[in-house]
């Protein structure tokens, strides 16, 4: 963005007390990240953002928003008064979005939305000026900040859009009014707040609430919950997946240690992605569908997919301190994701004498079904394939109990949450150079600390 304070104030139906001609090129809500030419947004959180205005200004911010009626309004710096800073941030983003007027691709799903976002952006960047969500900045704060970060020359804006409650995607869809909507899949993420997968599907479908009349809806055709809901969408639709009924479907796929290859219907092109697993092939199928919608040919799409850079902590291979290969997937976790990653990990060949060792941490936000969902992972685990298991956290005790008759005692290990260091010590004593190790758990379980110690 690049706007004078006077224009920002007008866009927010307000005024600025001084410095109307100051140029703003970024917005920040963390005072520590304020820089010259930035506008500080004092959001309400654990702490009141207004308490940090002076810090933001000291770090270089040019101006700040201020909630009307909030005490302590500064008089010596540029201030724009608003009814609510978060609403103002969103309104400013909507104004700037209309000013730049890019084509908007909105992507959501219980799993795969970040990887799909990265793939789609890489595919479209071959011919267009593309701006995408950084990391997983995908909520009511992250989406408007992403919009305001895009350059005026942006032609396509690729937005990851997340949700943890009903109505959230409806609001984000209204904000961005997408030209293309993508839903990767329906899983159990946030089932604690929704109760059933049906309700999760309803909430995910909210991304289409403000899909433009001439827009496109691209979704996973292998998910019955999406298929029945998509029937109500009047805009153009297409599906991706592994069924012959899908618009784009994989006819073959192979997963290796560092990549996967696949072929699709109606094309002679060979595709390769620098990630493993059927679920990532599914994400690539979504990206192919979007690329074709924008006129990319399969050769261009294949080249982009082969070279795209995934967001950190998405099934990356790293080398441990005794030479073992470690699959790092510690960003988030839910039953669907664990089963998919475990299946992919089980397909990776090991050296002679090597073992597949999985470290699984609790899957959070599963509510009343948590114990049952943790135990249900037992069906996806085979000691002949995943040779050894380290289970960490109070909820993983349910999986441990479900596996005691399936796994040899020497190959099944359980650790309460206060015994991470004990688990790490046991792992370091156990792992051999020929082994491969998988780390998977919700971010709140902090398995990245295990990774750091193993490396």
Asked if residue 110 belongs to a known ligand binding site, the reply is yes
Q: Which residues pair with 253 in a beta bridge?
A: 262
- C-alpha span between 334 and 226 (Å, rounded): 19
As given in the structure block, the two tokens for residue 10 are: 């007008």
Spatial neighbors of 399 by CB under 8 A, at least 6 apart, are: 360, 374, 375, 377, 378, 391
For 404-418, letters b (16+ CB in 10 Å) and e give eeebeeebbbbbeee
112 carries a ligand binding annotation = yes
Quick one: tokens of 309?
Answer: 């850079």
Calpha distance 392→418 (Å, rounded): 9
The answer to whether 292 and 126 have CB atoms below 8 angstroms apart is no
Please provide residue 369's backbone torsions phi and psi, each rounded to the nearest 5 degrees. Answer: -90, 5
Residue 109 among known ligand-binding residues: yes
Residues 204 and 109 sit within 8 Å (Cβ to Cβ) = yes
Going by the DSSP 8-state scheme, the letter that residue 16 receives in this structure is B
Q: With residue 253 as reference, give the H or E element that holds it.
A: strand 248-255
Residue 111 marked as a ligand binder: yes
Tokens read off for 419: 């015994």
- 49 known ligand binder: no
Give the residue from 219, 228, 314 showing the smallest Cα distance to 273: 314
Residue reference for tokens 């959180």:
45
The answer to whether 69 is a known ligand-binding residue is no
Q: Is 442 annotated as a binding residue?
A: no
**Which CB contacts under 8 angstroms, 24+ apart, belong to 15-22?**
15/80, 15/81, 16/63, 16/78, 16/79, 16/80, 17/75, 17/78, 17/79, 18/77, 18/78, 19/62, 19/63, 19/78, 22/62, 22/63, 22/78
Binding-site positions for ATP read: 109-115
Binding-site positions read: 109-115
């Amino acid at each position: 963005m690049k706007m004078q304070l006077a224009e920002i104030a007008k866009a927010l139906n307000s005024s600025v007390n001084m410095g109307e001609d100051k140029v703003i090129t970024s917005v920040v809500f963390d005072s520590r990240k304020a820089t010259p030419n930035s506008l500080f947004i004092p959001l309400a959180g654990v702490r009141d953002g207004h308490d940090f205005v002076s810090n933001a200004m000291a770090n270089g911010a040019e101006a700040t928003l201020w909630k009307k009626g909030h005490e302590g309004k500064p008089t010596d710096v540029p201030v724009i008064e608003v009814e609510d800073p978060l609403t103002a941030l969103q309104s400013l983003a909507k104004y700037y979005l209309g000013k730049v007027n890019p084509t908007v691709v909105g992507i959501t799903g219980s799993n795969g939305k970040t990887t799909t976002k990265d793939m789609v952006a890489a595919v479209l960047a071959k011919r267009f000026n593309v701006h995408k969500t950084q990391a997983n900045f995908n909520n009511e704060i992250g989406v408007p900040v992403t919009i305001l970060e895009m350059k005026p020359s942006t032609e396509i804006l690729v937005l990851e859009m997340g949700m943890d409650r009903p109505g959230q995607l409806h609001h984000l869809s209204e904000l961005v009014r997408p030209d293309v909507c993508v839903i990767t899949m329906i899983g159990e993420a946030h089932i604690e707040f929704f109760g059933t997968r049906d309700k999760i599907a309803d909430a995910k479908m909210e991304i289409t609430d403000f899909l433009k009349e001439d827009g496109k809806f691209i979704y996973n055709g292998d998910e019955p919950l999406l298929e029945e809901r998509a029937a109500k969408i009047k805009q153009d639709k297409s599906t991706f997946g592994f069924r012959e009924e899908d618009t784009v479907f994989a006819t073959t796929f192979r997963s290796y240690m560092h990549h996967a290859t696949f072929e699709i219907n109606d094309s002679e092109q060979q595709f390769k992605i620098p990630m493993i697993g059927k679920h990532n092939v599914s994400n690539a199928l979504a990206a192919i569908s979007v690329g074709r919608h924008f006129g990319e040919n399969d050769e261009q799409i294949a080249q982009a997919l082969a070279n795209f850079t995934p967001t950190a902590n998405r099934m990356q291979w790293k080398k441990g301190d005794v030479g073992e290969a470690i699959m790092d997937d510690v960003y988030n976790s839910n039953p669907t994701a664990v089963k998919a990653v475990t299946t992919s990990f089980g397909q990776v060949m090991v050296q002679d004498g090597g073992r597949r060792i999985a470290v699984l941490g609790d899957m959070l936000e599963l509510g009343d079904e948590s114990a049952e969902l943790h135990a249900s992972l037992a069906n996806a685990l085979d000691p002949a394939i995943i040779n050894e298991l380290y289970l960490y956290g109070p909820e993983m005790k349910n999986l441990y109990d479900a596996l005691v008759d399936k796994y040899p005692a020497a190959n099944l290990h359980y650790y309460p949450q206060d015994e991470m260091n004990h688990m790490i010590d046991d792992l370091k004593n156990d792992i051999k150079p020929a082994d491969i190790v998988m780390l998977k758990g919700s971010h709140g379980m902090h398995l990245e600390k295990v990774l750091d110690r193993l490396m």
